[in-house]
């Protein structure tokens, strides 16, 4: 669903995953390692609006959101939060809260309206203005090059990420961004959540471009859920490695920036202590986090995926494996919740009929086991508040993947969007304050979204929720502490 609230995401650097985590609920600046950064984050399609202004071309999300039956509440992001025009005020809000950084995505179709061809200078000018506004307030930009909004023309021309040509076109777009903005942008992210991009866009069909072949999804007009998620992910990984190589060889020596990729991962725990459930839990991790991170660490997909997916899982050449290994300066992790995992007892024939790619892991993952929820739920049906999960996930990454540099790029909980509820009650978000405090206490790093309420009936006016005051006090304490200890 296209969110209709300001999804301000607070993210933080975990410069060393192995730092000692504080165990109590009362946290202070002294608990945090040096280099810790707080920031907010967004994505172009969810925030900017102005979808037909200044030469921006249509994207697969524009098409998807305007297709009947795709979005439950029939909303779209034509206006969104209006940040394309209102960004100066939003930068002031970030500064007022004491934030150090802002993660945002560039809309590919604002730079190249048709995906390639001539550069749209108006798009370049907009992001130059945004970057300069951030830097003028002492806020560091963190730029995501692809947050799911593929130019529609590339999908129409050759089915987008399903075709290897997407690698070349993405490389051209990325290099343009390095040239235009790299003198000021020192933190680049190639892709946001390749796993969700592939599984929801090409497996279940629940997100753009809405391709699938499952019998459970009646709206997919084309697709193959058994193969397309794997093909898309393969091309995305190769596109990532390609632009990292370009950046490191041509731009990093002069610009002195860093580049990474953002992965999503729920933390999974076995529903029971049975051997089957424990093994299913590991496969669940392999088919979500391992699917993307292992090629970047080891040059190939997890062995459990090779075994269970077989010939449907593409293979890397020796040169591709070499280029993939180590193709990151940091790994971004988007983590929101923890679920249970249990062994899937459905026979293989039935799994094919339901959705092959969604059941290949042989694990059933749900936030409920034996009728009992894993924890208290936020607004979203999938989001349960399990603070220890992020701590467990970071420990898992450290131990299994050699302690790579990790940035927590997203974390938080959402509010309901109830138009009949008075604004003064909407601003009371005690549950979010507790969520944020508890996750910080478990990992010394967290993100939160929904800090500001947006009044869509009053020129998109921003209203601060109680958690904004909490953050201002919290970050103000940090600033005072740092001054005292300089």
**Residue 2 domain-assigned?**
no
Q: Where are the beta strands (DSSP E) in 43-130?
A: 101-105
Is there a domain that residue 367 lies in?
no
CATH code (residue 180): 3.20.20.80
Q: Which residues of the chain have pLDDT under 70?
A: 1-35, 215-218, 346-357, 417, 441-453, 470, 474-486
Round to whole Å and give the CA distance between 312 and 429.
46
φ, ψ at 49 (rounded to 5°)? 70, -150
> Quick check: is 241 in a domain?
yes
pLDDT in tens, 36-86: 788 889 999 999 999 999 999 999 999 999 999 888 888 999 999 999 999
Catalytic residue list contains 269: no
CB 271 within 8 A of CB 397: no
Q: Please report whether residue 363 resides in a domain.
A: no
Q: Torsion angle of alpha carbons 255, 257, 263, 265, nearest 10°? A: -170
Active-site entry in 48, 180, 288, 410: 410
| H helix or E strand, kind and range, residue 408 | strand 406-410
pLDDT at 302: 98
Q: Is residue 272 part of a domain?
A: no
**What is the number of structural domains in the chain?**
1
457: containing domain: 11-265+283-334+344-357+376-484
Is 410 an active-site residue? Answer: yes
Q: Is the residue at 328 inside a domain?
A: yes
Q: Please give the pLDDT value at position 435.
A: 76
Alpha-helix residue ranges (DSSP H) falling in 137-227? 152-158, 165-181, 194-202
pTM: 0.87
* Per-residue pLDDT tens digits for 107-162: 999 999 999 999 999 999 999 999 999 999 999 999 999 999 999 999 999 999 99
Examine residue 275 and state whether it is found in any structural domain, yes or no.
Answer: no
- Cα 189 from Cα 142, distance rounded (Å): 7
| pLDDT score, position 10 | 40
Q: Which of 48, 180, 193, 288 is catalytic?
A: 193
User: How confident is the model at residue 32, as a pLDDT?
Assistant: 58
Domain membership flag for residue 148: yes
Other CB atoms within 10 A of residue 71 CB? 15
């Amino acid at each position: 669903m296209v969110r209709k609230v300001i999804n301000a995401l607070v993210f933080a650097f975990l410069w060393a995953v192995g730092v000692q985590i504080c165990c109590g609920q009362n946290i202070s600046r002294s608990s945090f390692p040096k280099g810790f950064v707080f920031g907010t984050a967004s994505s172009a399609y969810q925030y900017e609006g102005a979808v037909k202004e200044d030469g921006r071309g249509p994207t697969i999300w524009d098409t998807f959101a305007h297709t009947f039956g795709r979005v439950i509440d029939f909303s779209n992001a034509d206006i969104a939060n209006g940040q394309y025009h209102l960004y100066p005020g939003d930068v002031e809000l970030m500064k007022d809260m004491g934030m150090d950084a802002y993660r945002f995505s560039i809309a590919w179709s604002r730079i190249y309206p048709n995906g390639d061809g001539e550069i749209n200078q108006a798009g370049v000018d907009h992001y130059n203005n945004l970057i300069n506004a951030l830097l003028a307030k002492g806020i560091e930009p963190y730029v995501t090059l692809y947050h799911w909004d593929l130019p529609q023309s590339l999908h129409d021309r050759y089915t987008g990420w399903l075709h290897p040509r997407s690698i070349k076109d993405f490389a051209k777009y990325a290099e343009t961004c390095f040239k235009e903005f790299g003198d000021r942008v020192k933190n680049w992210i190639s892709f946001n959540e390749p796993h969700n991009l592939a599984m929801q866009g090409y497996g279940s069909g629940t997100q753009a471009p809405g391709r699938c072949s499952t019998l459970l999804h009646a709206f997919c007009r084309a697709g193959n859920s058994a193969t397309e998620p794997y093909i898309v992910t393969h091309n995305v990984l190769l596109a990532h490695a390609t632009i990292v190589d370009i950046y490191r060889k041509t731009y990093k020596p002069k610009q002195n920036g860093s580049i990474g990729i953002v992965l999503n991962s729920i933390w999974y725990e076995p529903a029971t202590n049975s051997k089957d459930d424990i093994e299913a839990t590991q496969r669940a991790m392999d088919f979500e986090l391992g699917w993307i991170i292992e090629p970047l660490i080891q040059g190939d997909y997890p062995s459990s995926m090779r075994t269970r997916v077989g010939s449907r899982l593409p293979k890397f050449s020796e040169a591709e494996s070499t280029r993939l290994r180590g193709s990151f300066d940091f790994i971004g992790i988007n983590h929101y919740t923890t679920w249970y995992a249990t062994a899937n007892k459905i026979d293989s024939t039935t799994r094919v009929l339901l959705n092959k790619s969604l059941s290949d892991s042989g694990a059933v993952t749900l936030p409920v086991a034996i009728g009992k929820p894993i924890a208290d739920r936020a607004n979203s049906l999938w989001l349960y508040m399990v603070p220890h999960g992020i701590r467990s996930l970071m420990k898992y990454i450290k131990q299994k993947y050699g302690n790579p540099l990790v940035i927590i790029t997203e974390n938080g909980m959402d509010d309901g969007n109830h138009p009949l509820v008075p604004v003064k009650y909407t601003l009371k978000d005690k549950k979010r304050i507790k969520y944020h405090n508890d996750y910080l206490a478990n990992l010394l790093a967290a993100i939160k979204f929904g800090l500001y309420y947006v009044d869509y009936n009053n020129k998109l006016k921003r209203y601060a929720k109680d958690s904004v005051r909490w953050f201002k006090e919290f970050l103000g304490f940090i600033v005072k502490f740092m001054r005292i200890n300089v």
